[in-house]
Structures are given as structure tokens and as C-alpha cells.
């Protein structure tokens, strides 16, 4: 059995509220990025994928359209669908966990995550998540390592209690499981819930590390860093806030730009 056949023969697993097309998209994208579907190779036909994954042809077609929109596959009319010759590597324009954004092609990052804590609201959190003053928020800090060297600190915030449970029960239910993994909360939420966070902004600010954070990253307190402040939305409301403090040893960060029309 080939890697592609093995990938497609594994039953799909979805969570409540996750569209089936997203699960199919994720499975095929995983195969493309892992090399199970090599660059330039032809994908199986819609009917073959549908039979293997036990989903309808309509769902397969919707997932393939998403893959084409993201530049992972292309269609040759009358011939079939093919993996693109060069699979795009997303930069900061993609809503992805920071450990994925900052990882190099040959340098995956590991995450040293602290326990998730319930904390009183702060002005920083309230301003970005539009929370009332009396609201509490979940907080988690992680240190990202590359080759054993600390390269970034990620501080994540989500509303707590009814502020999350009433408006986003799927995320609320998934949060304890997401916090169990040695990964950022965003990675856990996306893994469990799929793309429930649908819109995000990321502000980039140059700064210096300071004494306490400098110790965490083995830097002098006056060393320069980049601070990425990310706010993600679900159902058009801000629900996730993260601050990522990045050491200069990470290297350049990519933003893929396209011409406006």
C-alpha cells in the first residue's frame, strides 16, 4: 500500500460543528505537505477519493475547490487535478499557530507550555477582546524552542466562563483538551474544532526584550525583539488574543503579497 492509499484509507474523524469538507481538505493537504501526494503528481479522481474516505462526491468537490484556492492543487481541464509544482509555504498572512509560522523548512519548533490559568481581566485583554471589566480570561504562556534554543514566547488569552461558553460552546468545550497538549492553544483549537476562527489581524511592533523576558530567551534586556499581537475572530467577534515575542535569531518572517486589481 502506498503512502497515499494509506492516508486515504484511514477513517476521517471530525468534531461537532466541523464541516466534512474541512476534514477532507485537511486530510489531502496533509498528504500534499507530507509528500504522500508528491509535487506535480495527479490526484485520484473525485469518485476514488470519495469512496476511500466514505464521503459524497459533493463534499470532495468542495474540499478540492478549497485546496485549489490555497494554491495546493491545480486543475487541467479534461485531464484531472494535480499537486502544484511548488507548494506555497504560508507566512504571517495565514491564521496558523506561531510554532508553525516560525518553523523553518528543516527546523521544526517544540513548545514548552505552562498550565492554563484563570486570571482577572486586564486592560490589554479587555481592549482586544471587548470584554467587560468584571470578566475573567484564560491565560497560557509557552516558550518555543528550535534545536533546544528558546526563540519565542507566546502568551495566549481567551474569555472565560459565560463569555466563552454562551457564545462559542464548541471552543469552550475543546479548550481543556487543547490545553493538555504541548502546543499553543491555537494549535489545539484548530486540531479539535477545525477552522472555527475565521478572521484575524496581526500587528507587528519592534521593541526590546526587557529583563524578565530576556532571561526566558537567553537574551540581554536591551536586545531587540519583534512583538506580534494577534486577534482572531469567531462569528465576527474577537475571541482569541496572542502576543508572540520573537528573538532576532529566528530570522526573516515571510508575508506573501499579491498585486491588487
User: What φ, ψ does residue 258 adopt, rounded to 5°?
Assistant: -120, 150
Contact 152, 250 (CB under 8 A): yes
Q: What is the pLDDT averaged over residues 116-144?
A: 94
As a whole number of angstroms, the distance between CA 220 and CA 222 comes to 5
State how far the alpha carbon of 188 is from the alpha carbons of 71, 97, 171, 174, 221, in Å.
Answer: 25, 9, 10, 8, 32
As a whole number of angstroms, the distance between CA 32 and CA 68 comes to 12
What per-residue confidence (pLDDT) applies to 70? Answer: 77
Q: What is the pLDDT of residues 217-235, one digit of tens each?
A: 999 999 999 999 999 998 8
**123 has pLDDT over 80:** yes
Contact 24, 59 (CB under 8 A): yes
Instruction: Mark residue 17 as left, alpha or beta (left: phi above 0; alpha: psi -120 to 50; beta: remaining).
Output: left
**258 has pLDDT over 80:** no
What per-residue confidence (pLDDT) applies to 221? Answer: 94
**32 band by pLDDT with thresholds 50, 70 and 90:** confident
As a whole number of angstroms, the distance between CA 59 and CA 80 comes to 17
Contact 220, 214 (CB under 8 A): yes
**50 has pLDDT over 80:** yes
Neighbouring residues of 8: CB distance < 8 A, sequence distance ≥ 6: 27, 31, 44, 49, 52, 53
**97 has pLDDT over 70:** yes
DSSP assignment of 163-208 equals: HHHTT-HHHHHHHHHHTTSSS-HHHHHHHHH-S---EEEEEEEEEE
Q: Between 4 and 82, whose confidence is greater?
A: 82
**29 has pLDDT over 60:** yes
Q: What is the pLDDT averaged over residues 12-38?
A: 80
Contact 93, 83 (CB under 8 A): no
As a whole number of angstroms, the distance between CA 157 and CA 199 comes to 16
Place of cell 503528481: 41
State how far the alpha carbon of 231 is from the alpha carbons of 56, 93, 114, 207, in Å.
Answer: 35, 13, 21, 19
Amino acid at each position: 500500500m502506498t503512502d497515499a492509499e494509506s492516508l486515504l484509507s484511514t477513517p476521517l474523524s471530525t468534531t461537532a460543528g466541523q464541516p466534512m469538507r474541512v476534514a477532507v481538505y485537511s486530510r489531502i493537504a496533509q498528504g500534499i505537505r507530507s509528500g504522500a501526494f508528491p509535487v506535480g503528481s495527479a490526484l485520484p479522481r473525485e469518485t476514488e477519493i470519495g469512496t476511500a474516505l466514505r464521503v459524497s462526491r459533493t463534499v470532495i468537490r468542495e474540499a478540492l475547490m478549497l485546496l485549489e484556492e490555497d494554491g495546493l492543487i491545480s486543475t487541467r481541464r479534461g485531464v484531472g487535478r494535480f499537486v502544484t509544482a511548488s507548494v506555497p509555504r504560508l507566512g504571517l498572512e495565514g491564521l496558523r499557530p506561531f510554532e508553525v509560522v516560525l518553523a523553518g523548512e528543516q527546523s521544526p519548533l517544540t513548545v514548552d507550555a505552562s498550565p492554563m490559568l484563570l486570571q482577572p481581566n486586564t486592560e490589554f485583554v479587555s481592549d482586544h477582546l471587548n470584554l467587560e471589566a468584571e470578566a475573567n480570561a484564560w491565560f497560557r504562556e509557552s516558550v518555543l524552542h528550535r534545536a533546544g534554543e528558546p526563540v519565542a514566547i507566546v502568551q495566549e488569552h481567551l474569555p472565560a466562563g459565560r463569555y466563552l461558553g454562551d457564545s462559542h460552546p464548541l471552543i469552550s468545550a475543546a479548550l481543556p483538551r487543547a490545553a493538555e497538549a504541548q502546543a499553543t492553544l491555537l494549535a489545539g483549537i484548530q486540531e479539535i474544532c477545525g477552522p472555527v476562527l475565521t478572521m484575524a489581524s496581526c500587528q507587528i511592533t519592534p521593541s526590546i526584550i526587557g529583563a524578565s523576558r530576556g532571561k526566558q530567551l537567553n537574551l540581554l534586556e536591551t536586545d531587540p525583539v519583534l512583538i506580534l499581537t494577534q486577534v482572531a475572530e469567531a462569528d465576527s467577534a474577537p475571541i482569541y488574543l496572542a502576543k508572540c515575542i520573537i528573538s532576532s535569531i529566528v530570522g526573516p518572517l515571510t508575508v506573501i503579497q499579491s498585486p491588487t486589481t
